[in-house]
Structure formats: C-alpha cells, structure tokens
Amino acid sequence: MNRNNISLADYHAILVLKQTGAFRSAAEVLKLSPSALSRQVSALETRMGTRLFDRDTRNVALTVSGAVLAGIAERMVNTAHDAQAEFDAHLSARRGQLTIAGLPSVTAALLPSLLQRFTTAYPEIDLKIIDALSESVIDVVESGRAEIGFTAGTGATRSRLAFQPVTDDAFLAIGAADGPLAEDRAYDWAEVVEMPFIAMAQGTSVRELLDSACLRLGRALSPRFEVAHLATAGAFVSAGLGVTALPELALAVLPTDRLVRRELRDFGMRRRIGFVRQPGRSLSPAAAAFMEVMVKADMPRTMSFGANRPKTGVHN
C-alpha cells in the first residue's frame, strides 16, 4: 500500500470537496465529471487504507482521518502556490541574484550608471560585483562563479569564452602636475617611455598593450616601478616617482585632482572593452535583464581623450 503516492491534484480535490461539501459542485470547480471525481477519491482512500469522506446521496463530509489529511493538503497546496510564485518571479527577473565580474577600471567607470538603471528597474535582485584583474575575471566566468564579466579583449581572445565588444579606450600619459608632463601638450609615446616609468604588472591587460606599443618602437619596456593595482600606480605618479600610460577608463580609480593627463599622439593601441560569457549557455533571467538594460543604455562605442563621463572613485 503506497500511502506516499498522493499527487497535488489529490490534495486539491480534498480541499475543494471540503469547501463545497458535494461531489457535483466540487467536480464543476475541478472541471471533472462527478463520476471521475468519485473514482479519484475512492482510489485515494484505497491507497491510504482509510475512509476520508462520509457520503450520502447529496453530501460528503470529512471523516476524522479526512480532516487530518485536509490540513496537510492545505499546507501542500499553499507551498506549491508559493513555489510557483517564486519561480514566476525568477523567470520575470523580479527576484534573484546576479554576479558580475569586471576590471576595476570598468567596475568604477562604466558599471555605476548601468547598475543604477538596473537596480531601479529590478530592485529585488541581489548583486555581487567581483572587481579583479583580467585573468581573474576570465577565471570566475569560466568557472561559473559569475555569469558576465567585463574585461579587455586581449585576455578574452585566449579563453574559451564568447567576447562581445562594448567600447574601446584611448591611452593617455599620466603624470604629476609638476613632473615631466607638466607642459600642456600632446606627447609622443617615444618620449614618454624614456621618462621614469611606472608600469602595470605582467598579466594585466594594460601591461600587454604597453609592451605591444613598445615593440612598435623596436624596444622593450623597462619600468622603474612595476605595480599590480591601478590605485598604487596613481599614488606613485602623484608622489612624483614617475609617469605612466593608462586607458582613460582607468582614471576613475586614480586621484585625478592631483594628476595631469596628456594625449599620446602615436601610441597606436586602444584597449577594447567588452563582456564575456560562457558560449552556448543560457543566461539566467536576471543576467538577461541586465543585458537588456545595457543595450538600452546605448553605451558609447569609443572612449577618447577629453570625453565627458562620471568620475567615480572606488578602491581597486
């Protein structure tokens, strides 16, 4: 005797019979024939090994065992309704969680305005932002710890992820106001690289492009200082320890009030920024909603020297 084999339809039938007190009325609510409903209840009583309803020619009434099962049925039906409502909320992106990874310069310069739009439209979605270097962004998306990652195309092209360009970013020379870049003019890359130089560490998207720009000059980059984080590079430059060259988006994490930025005439490189995701894998409703917000935001395809954009400071 399989007492555990009770379906949601059985629970629902018990509750409707309890409420209506008659097979004909209950059958109309359940969109069944009275005979079909009677057979369903009889089969359930057989499986349970007990009578659930006392019947006469017109009415039905719960037995003591039937009343106990009706209480269980009410909890089961309510739980099913709550579960369906929760899943509907997930599908409509009303609730859920979304993890986004990104380069610190991207999370500081591009994400705040996007997230402001997104949280306004979807206030009950919890967000986790992982700001990390390029290789780490690739790792967390490949491992599934983040659904979407914003990074530079240099590293993304070597991964198994799908890369979609969003914008590209011009490099600028950055120095202290009273340092080698004090003269307000455009500078050649060849003269900037001869100055005391502060470079990002190997493995970063910025360093890869700096090395490529040096190769165009037929020389290797020989920095005085090599650092892993943008905030450190900015602090060193601000202290007068040297100059650097960074994409303009990176200024969002630098103390720009203490630095000067100069156009690089012949750097020859732009950093392409885009998002990565696992190919062939469907996005969650929350991630799909975020992508829709990003498309509607109509982000500029090119970031160039002097462009107006919010200066948002965050830790690196």
Within 10 angstroms of residue 202's Cβ, the number of other Cβ atoms is 10
Distances (CA, A) of 257 to 1, 191, 237: 79, 24, 12
Domains of the chain: 8-90 (1.10.10.10), 96-303 (3.40.190.290)
Mean pLDDT of 162-176: 91
State yes or no: pLDDT of 111 exceeds 60: yes
- pLDDT for position 311: 36
- pLDDT for position 146: 93
State the Cα–Cα distance between residues 191 and 241, nearest whole angstrom.
Answer: 17
* Residue 208 token pair: 């890869």
For 198, phi then psi, to 5°, come to -110, 115
Burial of residue 19 (CB within 10 Å: 0-12, 13-18, 19+) is: exposed
State the Cα–Cα distance between residues 13 and 15, nearest whole angstrom.
Answer: 5
State yes or no: pLDDT of 302 exceeds 50: yes
256 falls in which pLDDT band (50, 70, 90)? confident
State yes or no: pLDDT of 60 exceeds 90: no
**pTM of the complete model beyond 0.75:** no
State yes or no: pLDDT of 1 exceeds 60: no
3 falls in which pLDDT band (50, 70, 90)? low
